[in-house]
Amino acid sequence: GDSVTQTEGQVTVSESKSLIINCTYSATSIGYPNLFWYVRYPGEGLQLLLKVITAGQKGSSRGFEATYNKEATSFHLQKASVQESDSAVYYCAPTGTQVVGQLTFGRGTRLQVYA
């Protein structure tokens, strides 16, 4: 099975509502990695949204937050109040230790925010 599982497909949210995109990873496959969320806005390449390299710590950027939960092997992305400009595809990407330099990406979650 996948070593990274995130909320599949498309998520549609009304502006100003809250959002959570789930991400879990397999510690068996990846170990205890550094954790990243990348975002791809329309017409652009992926760019870093936030990262956390220490278990228990929280990363935040542009109103998004994610906490590295080592026990649950999760790194869920949350935002209290989304905006139309947040419409994009979000990728969870743990950096594994099994292969030097290799990231494993989730399949991506497309967020559509409507006014």
Contact footprint for other proteins (CB under 8 A): 33-34, 36, 38, 43-48, 51, 53, 91, 93, 95-97, 100-103, 105-108
Give 14 or 28: the residue with its C-beta nearer to other proteins: 28
- Taking residue 17's Cβ as centre, other Cβ atoms within 10 Å add up to 12
Closest distance between other proteins and the C-beta of residue 10, in Å?
A: 11
> Helical H runs in 5-76?
27-30
Identity of the residue numbered 106:
G
Closest distance between other proteins and the C-beta of residue 18, in Å?
A: 25
Give 11 or 15: the residue with its C-beta nearer to other proteins: 11
Integer angstrom CA distances of residue 99 from 4, 26, 61: 15, 15, 28
- 3-state DSSP assignment of residue 54: coil
Give 100 or 115: the residue with its C-beta nearer to other proteins: 100
* Closest to 79 (Cα-Cα) out of 69, 90, 95, 94: 90
Give 3 or 67: the residue with its C-beta nearer to other proteins: 3
